[in-house]
Amino acid sequence: MVRYQCLKGGLLSRHQVQHHESKLEHSHFTSADGVNEDLALNDQMIDILSSEDPGSMLQALEELEIATLNRADSELEACRTQISKDIIALLLRNLTSSGHLSPQVERKMGAVFKKQFLLLEKEIQEEYDRKMVALTAECDLETRKKTENQYQREMAAMEEAEELLKRVSERSAVECSSLLRTLHGLEQEHLRRSLALQQEEDFARAHRQLAIFQRNEVHRIFFAQIKSAIFKGDLKPEAAKMLLQDYAKIQEDVEELMDFFQASKRYHLSKRFGHREYLVQNIVSSETRVQGLLSAAAAQLTLLIQKHERAGYLDEDQMEELLERAQTEVFSIKQKLDNDLKQEKKKLHQKLIVKRRREILQKHKEQRKEQLSIGEAFRAAEDVGQYLGQWRGLVAGHSAALEELQERLDQAALDDLRALSLSLSERATEELRRLQSSLMTQELLKRGVPWLFLQQILEEHGREMAARAAQLEGEERDRDQEGVQSVRQRLRDNALEASMEEQAELRRWGRQIFTRLRSSAFSLSEEELLRVRQEVHSCFAQMDRSLALPKIRARVLLQRLQTAWREAEFLKLDQALAAPELQQQSRARKPRSKSKSKIDVLKKCIEDKIQLFDEPTPEDLVEKVRGELLRERVQQLEAQEGCFAESLVSLQFQKAAGMAKTLWAYTALLSIQDLLLEELSVSETLTKSACTQILESHSPELQELERKLEDAIARQETAQLERALASRQQWAGDGPGLLNEAEDTDSERQVSAVLWRALSKSQKLLEHQQQSLREEQESGVLLEDLLENMETDTFVTLYSQELRLASYLSKLTMVPAGTLRRLLSLALPTASQPELLAVLDSVSQKLPGHTAENDGGGEPADLSRSGKHQGWWQALESKLRGELVSRGLEKMLWARQQKESILKKTCPPLRERTMFSGQGSWPHLSLVSVGELAPMPIVGAEAIDLLNTGEKLFIFRNPKEPEISLHVPPRKKKNFLNAKKATWASGVD
């Protein structure tokens, strides 16, 4: 339990720091809390530089870097949220200024947006608190569990060693027990760090999830309010379409802006901590030089006395007396140096913090004043591009100024601390030299040492000291040069331009993927198109990488791989330790080995295990971590693509399922009608002429429905064609107009000038063409949905007509309700019980309104026929069952033949069938913290062959390269009456 409390104490202290950092996730950008947090983080740098333990400086600097990255993520997220709110307000204001929205509606929508955003912030804060409580409880439970397991392993190892230590000397037992305690302490420290890193990753993932949730909720709130405004009539569909187009374009600009912010922040922080790492190494190197000089001066004192003893000028007692006195003086000088250094560092530490806080706080005040002064310009801006440009310049300027200030303050703090350490160490070194040249010289001369011999040794020591000082100074310069190279390499790995280019390529790829996926939808309504657009924005909002999470994840993976590598090495050592015992058991004739040799092997095994904790990490583990990080990122991007594709497929399947259900019900109704007509004809209840007259009297209604539908479809397609032609004519008129500028009077320059203008305007023309293509595709998708709705409405009317006919025929045949229900269940085997009852009620409640009712062509329906023809109903059921079975066998045979024909065809791999435009086939993602580029197979999960599983393989159309057509592609018209007859004749549902 004590071990658990110790480990938990370490974890909770880290958690409290992270909890304090993460509360900024939902604070306003550049708020007072954010400034205080920034000041607190900067104070930790002074703590690190003035630390008394040089070995823990780099570890503390790494923890500070993670905390700073978390802080930067919070700042960027607050900045993104503020920009999103301002953009929505700007779009509404621009819509009002253009006359598409009234000021009253703008104010009302603005108030609704403000209320929704406040509720969102409250919801996120509550979810954040809940997650932190849950993660803390889970971490405590995991800590307790792993600590107890570690304690059990330690007890087992101690018990196993105690059996062996009983048969050895007390000294060997004490040494072995001390080694075991050291090993167990290292294992506990390793376990504590592993648990802390895992907890750190859990918190970082929770923050990332909340950030993504907030981004998606902002999009959801916007689309929900637009949909509500259209429904209430406050916003016209045309104005809403313009607003959504502007919003989509602006979101691309926002994501690019946030990519720039993130890349810039990553670069500046990498530069900052690279420089800080160099400073830490510099101060450690300086401390090493100081300690080397002090050690050399102290060693010369001992060497001076020993040389005189070897020369015969001192006896052994005199030597020991002088050595003891020299060691006492050296200890006193070093103790005084440590005390003075501690006191002076404490004073300087407070002075540096006060100076640092004053300058950083002053810089924050200046930047805050500048942000407030430019805020009015933000609110008065009418062009969103101008607004984003102002944000870009503001944040970039502020970041660069802050980084420059902090780098200067870090360097100044190092210079002050280093100057203090060097001045005190030089004073101590001078005291050691004076001790050698004055005190020890006088003591030696008192004991009759020749002056010439003493002077010769002192001169030699002086030359050695100068050489040692030069050597230490050269080593320090070499280490400084290595530090400079490390900083340069770190900056190359996190170069701003490379990061921006990689992210831009990734987003280009994403736009191609999502455009192709979106165009695969055959028909979408306005509401469904809104959902698709919202899904696209949600997916694109997740393409960035947070600053802290990749580095935290890399540390966790490296820790796990180190643990696995160390455990494998431990297993090898344990097997080597057990090998002599196995050899003893196989060689019974040899005497039992001595306990001393066993304890020596055990001590060597424990020492090797302890040494493994100090060995550097193998390079292959670092490469494995980089590869795993890249693989995880690829999987995340593939998951986004898959999620969007699933949403599209779900929409299409819902439409197909609804139409299929209606067709099945209609086909079942026709089957029932056919049976009833045949039974009426066979039983001579109605004559053949009467049956024919019933069907012929039903045909005009069907033909009238078909004619109305064809007329409506023709009108819609004509209107669509006119809109497409008008759009193409407008584009054709605007396109060349981009090049119509003042021509040069020199005819020789005219062609080159036109070509130059064409090249300069090519990107704009291409974007215009692509936008026209997207609008044409969306218009076609909406038209298909409109036509499908018209066809569905017509089909519902047709279904109602068939219900009336079925009701009339069931009245003539007097089919009992139970028999009719069984017939419907046979014709609709997949229908649920409520659906069957609804159809049955519809058939029963429809009043006979057919003209054949009064034509006198059949016998009157008297009640006596119900008992006379009771055997008819069983015959009807058996006949329908037989027909359905026969039809099903034919379908199975046809499906088997189709499957065999498909299997015989050769099909190229999926990647060969999917082509993308642009440079290269796939985007490239850089390995984390490495400048290399690795191909990323985004679509790249291997194609799964579903042809042998009995399942259906749905293939959605993939449009060809973008083409601008002046005509709407001809749509095959449907003749529902002929289709019904053909379907009924062929026996296909």
- DSSP per-residue string spanning 343-377: HHHHHHHHHHHHHHHHHHHHHHHHHHHHHHHHHHH
Burial code (b: 16+ CB inside 10 Å, e: under 16) for 894-928 equals eeeeeeeeeeeeeeeeeeeeeebeeeeebbebbbb
SS3 state of residue 985:
helix
**Amino acid at the residue 588:** A
Residues facing residue 935 across a β-bridge: 924
Burial code (b: 16+ CB inside 10 Å, e: under 16) for 11-30 equals bbebbebbeebbbbbbbebb
Contact yes or no for 265/72 (Cβ under 8 A): yes
Q: Note the pLDDT of residue 261.
A: 92
The larger pLDDT score, comparing residue 401 to residue 674, is at: 401
Closest CA to 352 of 65, 53, 49, 67: 49
Q: Note the pLDDT of residue 283.
A: 85
The DSSP secondary-structure symbol of 857 reads -
Q: Which helix (H) or strand (E) holds 935?
A: strand 933-935
Does the structure show a pLDDT above 50 at 81? Answer: yes
Report the alpha-carbon distance of residue 221 to residue 537 in Å, rounded.
Answer: 13
* CB burial of residue 41 (10 Å; 0-12, 13-18, 19+): middle
Report the alpha-carbon distance of residue 200 to residue 14 in Å, rounded.
Answer: 8
pLDDT (average), residues 465-478: 82
**pLDDT category of residue 960 using cuts at 50, 70 and 90:** very low
At a CB cut-off of 8 Å and minimum separation 6, what does 25 contact? 73, 74, 77, 78, 128, 207, 210, 211
Report the alpha-carbon distance of residue 679 to residue 630 in Å, rounded.
Answer: 71
pLDDT (average), residues 853-861: 39
Does the structure show a pLDDT above 80 at 846? Answer: no
Q: Token pair of 484, please? A: 């400079």
| Beta-carbon-side half-sphere exposure of residue 713 (alpha carbons within 13 Å) | 22
Report the alpha-carbon distance of residue 905 to residue 900 in Å, rounded.
Answer: 9
Q: How far is CA 53 from CA 10, 66, 547, in A?
A: 19, 21, 29
Q: Note the pLDDT of residue 871.
A: 59
pLDDT (average), residues 689-697: 73
Report the alpha-carbon distance of residue 64 to residue 41 in Å, rounded.
Answer: 7
Report the alpha-carbon distance of residue 260 to residue 238 in Å, rounded.
Answer: 33
Closest CA to 413 of 35, 37, 48: 48
Q: Token pair of 241, please? A: 């379409």
Q: Any idea which of 122-136, 573-587, 592-606 has the lowest mean pLDDT?
A: 573-587
At a CB cut-off of 8 Å and minimum separation 6, what does 593 contact? 580, 584
The DSSP secondary-structure symbol of 925 reads E
**pLDDT category of residue 123 using cuts at 50, 70 and 90:** very high
Does the structure show a pLDDT above 50 at 985? Answer: no
Q: Token pair of 18, please? A: 């992270």
Mean pLDDT of all residues belonging to the chain: 75
Q: How far is CA 607 from CA 154, 155, 570, 612, in A?
A: 16, 19, 11, 9
Q: Note the pLDDT of residue 667.
A: 78
Closest CA to 870 of 825, 808, 821, 816: 816
**pLDDT category of residue 907 using cuts at 50, 70 and 90:** low
**pLDDT category of residue 486 using cuts at 50, 70 and 90:** confident
The DSSP secondary-structure symbol of 435 reads I
Does the structure show a pLDDT above 80 at 113? Answer: yes
Report the alpha-carbon distance of residue 345 to residue 668 in Å, rounded.
Answer: 93
- Residue whose pair of structure tokens reads 């359905």 in the numeric block: 884
Does the structure show a pLDDT above 80 at 645? Answer: yes
pLDDT (average), residues 502-519: 82
- Residue whose pair of structure tokens reads 């805020």 in the numeric block: 375
pLDDT for 210-221, tens place per residue? 999 999 999 999
Does the structure show a pLDDT above 60 at 754? Answer: yes
Q: Which helix (H) or strand (E) holds 926?
A: strand 924-926
**pLDDT category of residue 863 using cuts at 50, 70 and 90:** very low
Report the alpha-carbon distance of residue 677 to residue 669 in Å, rounded.
Answer: 12
Q: Note the pLDDT of residue 114.
A: 93
Does the structure show a pLDDT above 50 at 90? Answer: yes
The DSSP secondary-structure symbol of 284 reads H
Q: Note the pLDDT of residue 966.
A: 32
The larger pLDDT score, comparing residue 344 to residue 858, is at: 344
pLDDT (average), residues 155-177: 81
Contact yes or no for 497/759 (Cβ under 8 A): no
SS3 state of residue 924:
strand
SS3 state of residue 934:
strand
Does the structure show a pLDDT above 90 at 538? Answer: no
Cα four-point dihedral sign 5, 6, 11, 12: positive
pLDDT (average), residues 256-270: 91
pLDDT (average), residues 616-634: 86
SS3 state of residue 958:
coil
Contact yes or no for 827/667 (Cβ under 8 A): yes
Q: Note the pLDDT of residue 932.
A: 42
Closest CA to 359 of 312, 393, 406: 406
Q: Any idea which of 63-72, 74-83, 190-199, 303-312 has the lowest mean pLDDT?
A: 303-312
Q: Note the pLDDT of residue 222.
A: 93
Q: Note the pLDDT of residue 574.
A: 83
Does the structure show a pLDDT above 80 at 376? Answer: no
Q: Note the pLDDT of residue 215.
A: 93
Report the alpha-carbon distance of residue 118 to residue 87 in Å, rounded.
Answer: 17
Q: Token pair of 29, please? A: 């950008």
Report the alpha-carbon distance of residue 299 to residue 744 in Å, rounded.
Answer: 88
The larger pLDDT score, comparing residue 7 to residue 650, is at: 650
3-class SS letters over 383-403:
CHHHHHHHHHHHHHHHHHHHH
> What stretches of 589-639 adopt beta strand conformation (E)?
none
Q: How far is CA 816 from CA 618, 823, 878, in A?
A: 84, 11, 16
Q: Note the pLDDT of residue 13.
A: 44
At a CB cut-off of 8 Å and minimum separation 6, what does 41 contact? 64, 67, 68, 71
Q: Token pair of 877, please? A: 């059921």
Does the structure show a pLDDT above 90 at 122? Answer: yes
Report the alpha-carbon distance of residue 468 to residue 152 in Å, rounded.
Answer: 51
**Amino acid at the residue 489:** Q
Report the alpha-carbon distance of residue 920 to residue 908 in Å, rounded.
Answer: 20
Q: Note the pLDDT of residue 77.
A: 93
Question: In this structure, what is the dihedral angle of CA atoms 386, 389, 391, 394, given to the nearest 10 degrees?
Answer: -120
pLDDT (average), residues 103-131: 92
Q: Note the pLDDT of residue 941.
A: 37
Does the structure show a pLDDT above 60 at 967? Answer: no
Report the alpha-carbon distance of residue 361 to residue 232 in Å, rounded.
Answer: 50
pLDDT (average), residues 555-581: 84
Q: Note the pLDDT of residue 835.
A: 64
The values of phi and psi at residue 684, to 5°, are 60, 20
Q: Note the pLDDT of residue 364.
A: 87
pLDDT for 412-450, tens place per residue? 998 898 888 888 888 888 888 887 777 777 777 777 778
Question: In this structure, what is the dihedral angle of CA atoms 855, 858, 861, 867, given to the nearest 10 degrees?
Answer: -170
Q: Note the pLDDT of residue 508.
A: 85
Q: Any idea which of 323-337, 495-509, 802-816 has the lowest mean pLDDT?
A: 802-816
Q: Note the pLDDT of residue 724.
A: 67
Contact yes or no for 289/472 (Cβ under 8 A): yes
Report the alpha-carbon distance of residue 192 to residue 184 in Å, rounded.
Answer: 12
**pLDDT category of residue 258 using cuts at 50, 70 and 90:** very high
Contact yes or no for 28/327 (Cβ under 8 A): no
Q: Cβ atoms within 10 A of the Cβ of 405, count? A: 15
Closest CA to 664 of 825, 439, 448, 837: 825
Closest CA to 248 of 31, 478, 511: 511
Q: Cβ atoms within 10 A of the Cβ of 441, count? A: 18
At a CB cut-off of 8 Å and minimum separation 6, what does 562 contact? 617, 621
The larger pLDDT score, comparing residue 648 to residue 204, is at: 204
Q: Any idea which of 114-118, 316-320, 800-804, 877-881 has the lowest mean pLDDT?
A: 877-881
Does the structure show a pLDDT above 50 at 406? Answer: yes
Q: Which helix (H) or strand (E) holds 298?
A: helix 237-310
| Beta-carbon-side half-sphere exposure of residue 6 (alpha carbons within 13 Å) | 12
Q: Is 282 left (phi over 0), alpha (psi -120 to 50) or beta?
A: alpha
Report the alpha-carbon distance of residue 55 to residue 46 in Å, rounded.
Answer: 16
Residues facing residue 686 across a β-bridge: 858
Q: Any idea which of 213-217, 271-275, 472-476 has the lowest mean pLDDT?
A: 472-476
**Amino acid at the residue 149:** N
**pLDDT category of residue 737 using cuts at 50, 70 and 90:** low
Does the structure show a pLDDT above 50 at 843? Answer: yes
Q: Cβ atoms within 10 A of the Cβ of 504, count? A: 14
Q: Note the pLDDT of residue 953.
A: 41
**pLDDT category of residue 378 using cuts at 50, 70 and 90:** low
